[in-house]
Amino acid sequence: MQLIKQTSLKNIAIFASGAGTNAQKIIDHFRNSALAKVSLIVSNKAEAGIFKIAEKEQIPAVLIDKEQFFRGDTYVKLLQDHHIDLVVLAGFLWKVPANLVQAFEGRIINIHPALLPKYGGKGMYGHFVHEAVLAAGDTESGITIHFVNEKYDDGGVILQERCAVLPGDTADVLAKKIQALEHHWFPLIVERLLS
């Protein structure tokens, strides 16, 4: 007689504000996984490309109401109702409120397109980060995957990976290098944290 091992998939919620390229890489990574699946997409922008991905992938998606997000427990309850094990911020541009951080302590991660603590904080995202790196004359940049706490870009570092900043690099060139690092490392770190 063969014993069938009972396993339950872990549930990932992805919060994103933009096109959702990192979200797509994570969805693809876990598509046939016995470990986890992306069970919920959350965004603060009605026009965000992440909603097209959610529709195509048939993943439930929610548009955040700003007032409810920053006051009350609506979204804590939403995540609990979906049995979310890990919240992944993939280009989500709002600061996560304290009640959500506390309810999912140690289970919310973010990816930042620079080597924190440099170039972090409010308003530091996307091209703003790359332009700051170039303006400072840095010879390297990279990504930081970190836990989320109640301050911007401040939680414990999980992984940093680097890339060279070459003479003549523009913000667009640097963005492509950073995105390649993000797409490679983010799904792997999500898997590592859930294993």
At 151, phi and psi to the nearest 5? -115, 155
Structure tokens given for 161: 């990976």
Q: Which of 112, 127, 130, 184 is catalytic?
A: 112
Name beta bridge partners: 16: 43
DSSP structure string for 106-160: T-EEEEESS-TTTT-STT--HHHHHHHHHHHT-SEEEEEEEE--SSTT-SPEEEE
Residue 66 among known ligand-binding residues: yes
146 given a catalytic annotation: no
Residue 155 among known ligand-binding residues: no
Question: Is 9:36 a contact under the CB 8 Å cutoff?
Answer: yes
Q: What single-letter amino acid sits at 72?
A: G
Residue 44 among known ligand-binding residues: no
- Catalytic residue annotation: 112
Query: Residue positions in the annotated binding site?
Result: 20-22, 66, 110
Annotated binding site for (6R)-10-formyltetrahydrofolate: 66, 110
